[in-house]
């Protein structure tokens, strides 16, 4: 596998964190993988990641300030081998749009299929969100890329 797309609702809180963490791990291990993120919604297209996500990423040595939100596109179906949704609603939306190669982030890292909490209205959940995303993304790299 050499391409990975992370998807949430707005592409400003959760999936940019997953993208930043995944790119960081790929760089650390010298892996050449296409990594991107997108939202199922269109409200925040062109926006930078939310402040809480930017801040916690930077605290952990990852700068996500240059990422910009986009919506999922039909061509993502062909472009990405694996598409990882942050919660079940995102996954269902992708399936309704005809995406077949979707997984739930919470299926990795012993989270038992848990949804990544949406931090948009609860920024105090951001630490829990970051820990879950990092743990699950690390597990993806262990299972899919053997690092």
Give catalytic residues, as residue numbers.
Answer: 8, 14, 118
CA distance 42 to 29: 33
Interface with ligand 4NP by CB under 6 A: which range of 8-16, 18-26, 98-106, 132-140?
A: 8-16
Phi, psi (deg, nearest 5) at residue 21: -65, -45
Contact positions with ligand 4NP (CB under 6 A) in 22-61: 39, 43-44
Nearer to ligand 4NP by Cβ, of 134 and 143: the residue is 134
Contact positions with ligand 4NP (CB under 6 A) in 83-122: 118, 120
Burial of 98 (0-12, 13-18, 19+ CB in 10 A): exposed
Interface with ligand 4NP by CB under 6 A: which range of 9-17, 55-63, 73-81, 136-144?
A: 9-17
Phi, psi (deg, nearest 5) at residue 39: -115, 155
Strand order in the sheet with 102-104: 34-39, 3-8, 82-85, 102-104
18 touching ligand 4NP, by CB under 6 A = no
Among 5, 10, 109, 136, binds ligand 4NP (CB under 6 A): 10
């Amino acid at each position: 596998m050499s391409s990975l797309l992370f998807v949430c609702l707005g592409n400003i809180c959760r999936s940019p964190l997953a993208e930043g963490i995944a790119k960081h791990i790929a760089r650390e291990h010298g892996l050449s993988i296409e990594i991107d993120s997108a939202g199922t919604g269109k409200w925040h297209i062109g926006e930078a990641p939310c402040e809480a996500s930017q801040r916690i990423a930077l605290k952990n040595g990852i700068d996500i300030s240059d990422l910009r939100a986009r919506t999922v596109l039909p061509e993502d179906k062909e472009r990405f081998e694996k598409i990882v949704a942050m919660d079940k609603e995102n996954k269902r939306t992708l399936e309704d749009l005809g995406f077949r190669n979707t997984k739930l982030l919470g299926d990795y890292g012993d989270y038992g299929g848990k949804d990544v909490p949406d931090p948009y209205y609860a920024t105090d959940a951001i630490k829990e969100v970051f820990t879950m995303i990092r743990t699950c993304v690390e597990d993806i790299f262990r299972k899919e890329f053997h690092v």
